[in-house]
Amino acid sequence: MAEFGARLLIADDNKVNRLLLSRSVELQGHSAALAENGRVALEMLRREPFDLLLLDIEMPEMDGFAVLEHLKADPQLRDLPVIVTSSVEGLDNIVRCIGLGAEDYLPKPVNAVLLKARIGASLEKKRLRDQQKDLVRRFATSEVAQDLQQSGFSLGGKRVHASVMFSDIRGFTALVENQPPEETIELLNTYYTLMFEAISSHGGVVNQMIGDGLMALFGAPLSLDDCAGSAVAAAQEMIELIEQFNLERAAARKPPISIGIGIATGDVVAGYTGTQQRATYTCIGDTVNLAARLEAHTKNVQRPILIDAATRHGLEAGVQLIALGDVQFKGKAGAAPVYAVAQHSG
């Protein structure tokens, strides 16, 4: 059980109280460290990990209210459960503790049975919160998870300058029909592992995976100095990785796969869309549509990487491009110039 063997910090200026509380938690199977005032407690919390804080209010140097305020303002510590144990007079003081984020309040002298129940409940809540954070990390990218932790969740977006990438496997439907589903899943897992590696090593974030296709952002949620250059470099690496992967497939007598990548750059609105219950980090705007069209267009021109004029504009001189002229895309008012990225020689 997670609630046993937790590490607690007891902050109390009174020696008798400290000893008695630490005895109580040790009898419950936890270990306790002791701090004689709020300042010392904060230092210890910032130095080593604790599962829970038992906090007195009346203390010299820094009292419990100030400790609660510091914890609330600290992204690393604001989720630490705090149980206030005090014989402080006045209901308003208790209300103030709860308002400042204390999980619970226990009057002194602390009843051992109540203390055990409250510690158990707080640790269980902490375990659920940790699990939730873990889930967010698994299903969102770490950048999105960090963004969520720092600014909280709210629907709605902000305008950012970014490069949007779409990529998918050519002829995937035919491939799926000619092999057992287990093999397809394995293929997809390898494919995604390679693509994630190429994208994230250039500062991009994969924000959607649909079947064999993916959408990636360069410049959101974290801004990038050179989003166009990063996106194109990632695309070139993706193509190289697929070529290596095809060598392995050839050795296993499997047909090669090929991918198409479209990149467009411009202002997009990035943020969380969906409902309060289920939302995803994405971005919308003309740039996104154009990137999707460019990706689809790779089939028509038999070029693996196509980019728009704004992406080209953001590139340094070293990248070799082939101008393919203007293309009229579905749903677009005017024709847009399209460029193919030439592969690295050798």
Partner 1 sequence: MDESVIDQDVYAELQETAGAEFVAELVDTFLEEAPGMLAELRSARAENHSERFRRGAHSLKSNSNTFGALKLAALARDLEIKGLDADPARDMAVLAELDAECARAAAALKVLRDG
Asked if 46 touches partner 1 (CB under 8 A), the answer is no
Q: Total number of residues binding partner 1 (CB under 8 A)? A: 19
Residue 105 or 191: the one with the smaller Cβ distance to partner 1 is: 105
Residue 17 or 207: the one with the smaller Cβ distance to partner 1 is: 17
| 3 state SS of 127 | helix
Asked if 120 touches partner 1 (CB under 8 A), the answer is no
Out of 1, 16, 174, 247, point to the residue binding partner 1 (CB under 8 A).
Answer: 16
Q: Within 13 Å and on the Cβ side, how many CA atoms surround 310? A: 20
Asked if 17 touches partner 1 (CB under 8 A), the answer is yes
Sign of CA dihedral 78, 79, 80, 82: positive
**Which residue in the block uniquely carries the two structure tokens 């602390």?**
110
Out of 5, 29, 99, 109, point to the residue binding partner 1 (CB under 8 A).
Answer: 109
CB 168 within 8 A of CB 260: yes
Out of 4, 19, 69, 244, point to the residue binding partner 1 (CB under 8 A).
Answer: 19
β-partners of residue 163 are: 218, 265
Burial bucket for residue 21 (CB in 10 Å: 0-12, 13-18, 19+): buried
CB 261 within 8 A of CB 166: yes
Residues 54-93, one symbol each (x = binds partner 1 by CB under 8 A, - = not), give: ----x-x--------------------------xxx----
Out of 13, 124, 267, 286, point to the residue binding partner 1 (CB under 8 A).
Answer: 13
CA distance 3 to 201: 39
Residue 89 or 316: the one with the smaller Cβ distance to partner 1 is: 89
Identify residue 159 by its one-letter amino acid code. R
DSSP-derived letter for residue 126 is H
Phi, psi of 315 (to 5 degrees): -90, 150
Asked if 14 touches partner 1 (CB under 8 A), the answer is yes
Please choose, out of 7-15, 158-166, 307-315, 327-335, the segment that lies near partner 1 by the rule CB under 8 A.
7-15
Q: Which residues bind partner 1 (CB under 8 A)?
A: 13-17, 19-20, 23-24, 27, 58, 60, 87-89, 108-109, 112-113
